[in-house]
């Protein structure tokens, strides 16, 4: 682009000067975004440095967390974050994809708007309110209605053995699944809608049923983007803090049963950061933050690229 | 062949039904949460609730006046910090952002949108709280701003991209400078959409709790000094919900109801803004 | 007919990212005349027009060499500022482009905001009225200047854009296929308007419609694949073209 060269502004330099100021101002605003990201990473890395130096990689796979003895291993939190997120995905994937397919392919036109709005409202409810609801509504319901059935049917597996203690991995996973459902379904909807109608029509013209058209023509075309939607949901689940902190039980042990309490990385930071007294304790929590940050950045970048590829692919045609 | 066909039709109907069931299951939590909020929260809400501060632990009564004030101050300061930066960055992306730096800014904004908010809390603690030696509402606002900036950046860029290039050319052909064209024509035309995006972002951070835990911290008293720790509705819900007293639990539902209503009002206003935009076209 | 030259190009060449769109054009535009630029799509006629108010260089990859003389100065010289130039060379585009956030009045006054001497409010009102009359729109909108510009019909919007372009009293008015998005009746009104406009301005209009060119213009220039093939008085060019490609085009053998 050949921008007007402001060599010798003769008639008036007002507009050229104004443009320069304008450009400098908005460029500065834009530069703040990556600078914040870089500063965030550097601050966390600096904060985590004492524990990185002290424990090295052991921090990631040992499970002793003892602020008194100053020994820190984050395995229970890392594992707890992964397990609660996986439970959430197992519940949310079929539901959210079902919603997305229903809304884009099957729902009567009149219902699409209202149902989509209702699902999206789920994303507007604050995390702390989910936590409140989890404590006083979901957990009692789980205790009286759901867990007895689960124990009876699946109690023989290690995952549902033992007594339900209310605050638990299961409760955290269920809450998380509700929270990430609107994110997955809205991105999935966007991706499915990006598939050209000709795909559907071609399948239907060949005599496919409506479901077969979706299953064999639409979904394969946007499978990458749907995976992206799921990974975005995973990213949300990994970093979700308040609701998880309020129902997961905050126990520093690795348990197999979902009915028992657990811990997550975000919950550990939320619970302990304000009270951490020693440098090493703060550092350990900062390192948990760093690990969580790096994981979510990788997960989100991956997801963005997947979704972007699908919407670009069809956006161009 | 006929049998095969009727089986295929059956499968198609079953799967269609399954997606309908998924849609119904997905909206159940919304109603469950809203019904409980109203059922348990409405009874707590009276005039006292809005004009009183929290009572001493264990005592009856008390309200959320301090929390409402705190939310207003912290979210207001957040808007003051974040909106100029976010809108400015969005204008940059639309106006000059076609190169590699612009792509990078957009990508980073997307990635930051997915960054756990608790991490932003830790960041602002090391950046502001530790050097200053105390928690403050200002630190809370900075933390929320870091969440708002990338959201507003992206939404501004998207809305500006919808303004037809012909309008920009028409203004330039009149002898408008680039700055004037961008601000008085392009941004002005996209403004209703940008406002919607801003309201959505503000609504989201009004409910945020995690980044405030060790920045604004919370405060049981009524405070308006932005350099001091301050309560918000979201922090109040957390404190009341995780406390041991039934009276607190009752107040938690009340505070949560107020919070959700606030968030939904932002959302409704945003929706209204979008509606009027499309009427104008 | 006065034959003082208002605008002239010398060896004007324009390209997009190295691909030449307009090659070595030298052409004079007489004061107070209408010049039509015709040619098949992609012949570079719009690009050429956009070089005359330095809009072409705003297109990514767009570059220009050669010179365009206006008031004895080269608009591409280092000391010339595009923003100032465009106040002297108004432009109307293919599709109507009223500013949707502004009223009818504000649209017409939009160019006055950046004028070198900003008129005071009462003078501004006069100029707006004069411009709307000049664009033949006053009788239709004079009583509702405060309503949104988007409430007008397509043809009215285009005349509003003409009013907006002439309000700052430019020397030259560029029309880039101004009627191609309009219905026949609106088209006719704008064609009639062009005849009136040349009393005050030098008009250069790009059109792909040869009948239109013959109806509205004094001079016609025929472009083909980026080259200026022929230019001359309109009646002469249409009745007795000197180049065989011009003849092929105006007799409808291609394009």
Q: Do B167 and C100 touch (CB under 8 A)?
A: yes
CATH of domain C5-250: 3.40.50.300
Residue A7 is predicted with a pLDDT of 40
- In angstroms, the separation between the Cα of residue C105 and the nearest Cα of chain B is 15
Q: What is the pLDDT of residues C118-163, one digit of tens each?
A: 899 999 999 999 999 999 999 999 999 999 999 999 999 999 999 9
* Chain B (120-179) residues lying within 8 Å, Cβ to Cβ, of chain A: 120-123, 125-127, 146, 149-150, 153, 177-179
Confidence at B274, pLDDT banded by 50, 70, 90: low
Q: What is the pLDDT of residues A83-135, one digit of tens each?
A: 999 999 999 999 999 999 999 999 999 999 999 999 999 999 999 999 999 99
- Identify which of B46, B60, B52, B64 has the alpha carbon closest to the alpha carbon of residue B252: B64
Q: Which of A1, A7, A15 sits opposite C83 (nearest CB)?
A: A15
Residue C85 is predicted with a pLDDT of 94
Burial class (CB in 10 A: 0-12, 13-18, 19+), B75: buried
Q: What is the mean pLDDT of residues B171-192?
A: 95
Q: What is the pLDDT of residues B16-70, one digit of tens each?
A: 999 999 999 999 999 999 999 999 999 888 888 899 888 888 788 888 999 999 9
Q: Do B92 and A36 touch (CB under 8 A)?
A: no
Cα–Cα distance measured from residue C96 to residue B89, given in angstroms and rounded to the nearest whole number: 30
Q: What's the angle, vertex CA A286, arms to CA A283 and CA A287, rounded to 5?
A: 90
Give domain limits for chain A: 76-314
A275 Cβ under 8 Å from any chain C Cβ: no
Confidence at A313, pLDDT banded by 50, 70, 90: low
Enter the tokens of residue B223.
């405070």
Q: What is the mean pLDDT of residues C72-86?
A: 91
Angle between helices A169-193 and B2-41 (to 10 degrees): 120
Residue B280 is predicted with a pLDDT of 39
Confidence at B275, pLDDT banded by 50, 70, 90: low
Q: Spell C29-50 as b/e; 16+ CB within 10 A means b.
A: bbbbbbbbbbbeeebbbbbbbb
Q: Do C60 and A8 touch (CB under 8 A)?
A: no
Residue A8 is predicted with a pLDDT of 37
Q: Do A33 and B37 touch (CB under 8 A)?
A: no
* pTM given for the model: 0.91
* Chain A (74-133) residues lying within 8 Å, Cβ to Cβ, of chain B: 94-99, 101-103, 105-107, 115, 118-119, 121-122, 124-133
Q: Which residues of chain B lie closer than 8 angstroms to A130, CB-CB?
A: 33
Look up the ipTM and state it: 0.94
Enter the tokens of residue C4.
């003082």
Average pLDDT taken over every residue of chain A: 91
Cα–Cα distance measured from residue A31 to residue A288, given in angstroms and rounded to the nearest whole number: 27
Give domain limits for chain C: 5-250
Going edge to edge, which strands form the sheet with C73-74?
A: C19-30, C5-16, C62-70, C73-74
CATH 1.10.3720.10 for domain A76-314, yes or no, is yes
Q: Is residue A142 scored above 90 in pLDDT?
A: yes
Q: Do C114 and B177 touch (CB under 8 A)?
A: yes
Cα–Cα distance measured from residue C145 to residue C160, given in angstroms and rounded to the nearest whole number: 11
C93 Cβ under 8 Å from any chain B Cβ: yes
Q: Do A16 and B177 touch (CB under 8 A)?
A: yes
Residue B5 is predicted with a pLDDT of 83
Q: Is residue A11 scored above 70 in pLDDT?
A: no
Q: Do B174 and C114 touch (CB under 8 A)?
A: yes
Q: What is the mean pLDDT of residues A39-62?
A: 96
Q: Which residues of chain A lie closer than 8 angstroms to B109, CB-CB?
A: 33
Query: Could you identify the residue written with the tokens 């299951």?
Result: B25
Q: Which of B166, B175, B185 sits opposite C93 (nearest CB)?
A: B166
Element (H, E) at A71: strand A71-72
Q: What is the mean pLDDT of residues A42-52?
A: 96
Alpha carbon distance, N-terminus to C-terminus of chain B: 54
How would CATH label the architecture of B69-248+257-280? Orthogonal Bundle (1.10)
Question: Which of B2-11, C10-19, C28-37 has the weakest average pLDDT?
Answer: B2-11
B4 Cβ under 8 Å from any chain A Cβ: no
- Give the number of other Cβ atoms within 10 Å of residue A64's Cβ: 12
Give domain limits for chain B: 69-248+257-280
Q: What is the pLDDT of residues A147-197, one digit of tens each?
A: 999 999 998 999 998 889 899 999 999 999 999 999 999 999 999 998 988
Cα–Cα distance measured from residue A287 to residue B4, given in angstroms and rounded to the nearest whole number: 59
Cβ contact A39:A225 at 8 Å: no
Phi-psi region of C44 (alpha: psi -120 to 50; beta: other; left: phi over 0): left
Alpha helix (H) residue ranges in chain B: 2-41, 47-51, 65-96, 100-113, 117-124, 130-132, 137-161, 165-173, 178-180, 188-206, 233-242, 246-280
Q: Is residue B235 scored above 90 in pLDDT?
A: yes
Q: Do A11 and C62 touch (CB under 8 A)?
A: no
Element (H, E) at B232: none
Which chain A residue lies closest to B208 (C-alpha atoms)? A126
Which chain B residue lies closest to A286 (C-alpha atoms)? B122
Enter the tokens of residue A121.
């409202």
Residue A317 is predicted with a pLDDT of 37
- In angstroms, the separation between the Cα of residue B85 and the nearest Cα of chain A is 5
Q: Is residue B277 scored above 50 in pLDDT?
A: no
Cα–Cα distance measured from residue B44 to residue B146, given in angstroms and rounded to the nearest whole number: 34
- In angstroms, the separation between the Cα of residue B84 and the nearest Cα of chain A is 8
Residue B281 is predicted with a pLDDT of 35
Percent of chain B at pLDDT above 90? 80
Residue C52 is predicted with a pLDDT of 96
Against chain C, the chains showing at least 3 CB pairs within 8 Å are A, B
Phi-psi region of B212 (alpha: psi -120 to 50; beta: other; left: phi over 0): alpha
Q: What is the mean pLDDT of residues A2-22?
A: 60
DSSP per-residue codes, chain C: ----EEEEEEEEEEEETTEEEEEEEEEEEETT-EEEEE-STTSSHHHHHHHTTT-GGGSTTEEEEEEEEETTEETTSTT--HHHHHHHEEEE-SS----TTSBHHHHHHGGGGGSSSPPPHHHHHHHHHHHHHHTT-HHHHTT-TTSBGGGS-HHHHHHHHHHHHHTT--SEEEEESTTTTS-HHHHHHHHHHHHHHTTTSEEEEE-S-HHHHHHH-SEEEEEETTEEEEEEEHHHHHHS-SSHHHHHHHTTS--
- Identify which of B216, B206, B212 has the alpha carbon closest to the alpha carbon of residue B263: B206
Average pLDDT taken over every residue of chain C: 93
Residue A162 is predicted with a pLDDT of 86
Cβ contact A180:A237 at 8 Å: yes
Average pLDDT taken over every residue of chain B: 92
Q: What is the mean pLDDT of residues C86-115?
A: 95
Q: Is residue B185 scored above 70 in pLDDT?
A: yes
Q: Mutate which of B169, B175, B190 to test chain C, going by most C C-beta atoms within 10 A?
A: B175
Q: Which residues of chain A lie closer than 8 angstroms to C116, CB-CB?
A: 12
Q: Is residue B176 scored above 80 in pLDDT?
A: yes
């Amino acid at each position: 682009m050949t921008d007007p060269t402001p060599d010798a502004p003769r008639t008036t330099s007002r507009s050229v000067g104004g443009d320069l100021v304008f450009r400098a101002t908005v460029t500065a605003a834009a530069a703040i975004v990556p600078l914040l990201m870089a500063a965030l990473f550097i601050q966390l890395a600096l904060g985590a440095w004492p524990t990185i130096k002290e424990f090295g990689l052991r921090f990631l796979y040992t499970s002793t967390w003892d602020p008194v003895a100053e020994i820190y291993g984050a395995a229970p939190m890392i594992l707890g974050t992964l397990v609660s997120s996986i439970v959430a995905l197992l519940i949310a994937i079929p539901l959210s994809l079902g919603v997305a397919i229903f809304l884009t392919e099957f729902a009567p036109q009149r219902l699409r708007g209202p149902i989509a709005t209702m699902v999206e409202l789920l994303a507007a409810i604050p995390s702390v309110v989910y936590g409140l609801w989890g404590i006083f509504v979901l957990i009692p319901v789980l205790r009286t209605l759901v867990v007895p059935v689960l124990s009876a049917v699946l109690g023989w597996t290690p995952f549902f053995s033992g007594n339900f203690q209310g605050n638990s991995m299961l409760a955290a996973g269920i809450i998380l699944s509700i929270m990430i459902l609107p994110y997955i379904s809205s991105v999935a909807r966007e991706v499915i809608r990006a598939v050209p109608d000709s795909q559907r029509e071609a399948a239907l013209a060949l005599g496919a049923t409506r479901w077969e058209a979706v299953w064999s023509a639409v979904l394969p075309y946007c499978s990458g983007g749907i995976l992206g939607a799921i990974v975005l949901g995973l990213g949300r689940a990994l970093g979700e803090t308040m609701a998880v902190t309020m129902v997961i039980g905050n126990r520093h042990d690795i348990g197999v049963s979902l009915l028992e309490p657990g811990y997550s990385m975000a919950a550990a930071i939320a619970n302990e950061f304000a009270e951490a007294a020693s440098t090493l304790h703060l550092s350990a929590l900062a390192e948990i933050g760093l690990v969580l940050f790096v994981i979510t950045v990788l997960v989100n970048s991956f997801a963005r690229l997947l979704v972007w590829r699908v919407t670009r692919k069809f956006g161009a045609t | 062949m006929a049998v095969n066909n009727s089986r295929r039709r059956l499968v198609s109907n079953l799967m269609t039904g399954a997606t309908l069931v998924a849609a119904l299951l997905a909206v159940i939590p919304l109603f469950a949460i809203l019904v409980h909020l109203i059922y348990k929260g409405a009874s707590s809400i009276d005039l006292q609730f809005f004009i009183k501060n929290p009572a001493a632990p264990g005592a009856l009564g008390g309200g959320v006046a301090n929390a409402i004030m705190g939310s207003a101050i912290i979210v207001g300061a957040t808007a003051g910090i974040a909106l100029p930066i976010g809108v400015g960055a969005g204008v940059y992306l639309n106006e000059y952002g076609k190169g590699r730096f612009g792509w990078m800014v957009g990508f980073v904004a997307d990635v930051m949108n997915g960054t756990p908010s608790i991490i932003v809390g830790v960041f602002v603690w090391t950046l502001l709280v530790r050097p200053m030696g105390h928690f403050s509402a200002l630190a809370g606002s900075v933390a929320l701003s870091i969440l708002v900036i990338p959201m507003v950046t992206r939404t501004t860029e998207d809305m500006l991209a919808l303004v037809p290039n012909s309008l920009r050319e028409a203004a330039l052909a009149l002898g408008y400078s680039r700055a004037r064209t961008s601000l008085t024509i392009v941004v002005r035309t996209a403004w209703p959409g940008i406002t919607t995006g801003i309201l959505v972002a503000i609504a989201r951070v009004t409910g945020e709790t995690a980044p405030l835990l060790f920045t604004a911290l919370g405060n049981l008293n009524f405070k308006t000094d932005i350099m001091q720790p301050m309560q918000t509705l979201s922090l109040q819900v957390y404190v009341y919900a995780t406390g041991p007293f039934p009276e607190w639990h009752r107040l938690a539902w009340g505070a949560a109801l107020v919070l959700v209503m606030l968030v939904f009002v932002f959302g409704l206003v945003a929706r209204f803004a979008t509606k009027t935009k499309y009427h104008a076209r | 007919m006065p034959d003082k030259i208002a605008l002239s190009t010398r060896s004007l060449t324009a390209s997009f990212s190295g691909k030449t769109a307009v090659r070595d054009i030298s052409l004079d535009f007489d004061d107070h005349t209408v010049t039509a630029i015709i040619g098949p799509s992609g012949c570079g006629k719009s690009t050429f027009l956009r070089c005359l108010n330095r809009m072409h260089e705003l297109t990514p990859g767009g570059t220009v060499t050669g010179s365009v003389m206006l008031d004895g100065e080269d608009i591409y010289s280092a000391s010339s500022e595009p923003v100032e130039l465009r106040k002297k060379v108004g432009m109307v585009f293919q599709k109507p482009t009223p500013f949707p956030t502004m009223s009818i009045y504000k649209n017409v006054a939009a160019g006055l905001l950046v004028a070198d001497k900003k008129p005071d409010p009462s003078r501004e009102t006069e100029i707006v009225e004069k411009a709307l009359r000049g664009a033949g729109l006053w009788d239709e909108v004079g009583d509702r200047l405060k309503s949104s510009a988007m409430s007008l019909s397509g043809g009215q919007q285009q005349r509003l854009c003409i009013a907006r372009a002439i309000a700052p009293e430019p020397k030259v008015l560029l029309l880039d296929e101004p009627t191609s998005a309009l219905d026949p009746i609106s088209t006719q009104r704008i064609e009639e308007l062009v005849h009136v406009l040349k009393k005050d301005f030098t008009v250069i209009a790009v059109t792909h419609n040869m009948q239109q060119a013959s109806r509205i213009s004094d001079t016609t220039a025929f472009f083909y694949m980026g080259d200026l093939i022929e230019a001359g008085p309109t009646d002469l060019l249409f009745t007795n073209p000197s180049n065989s490609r011009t003849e092929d085009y105006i007799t409808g053998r291609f394009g």
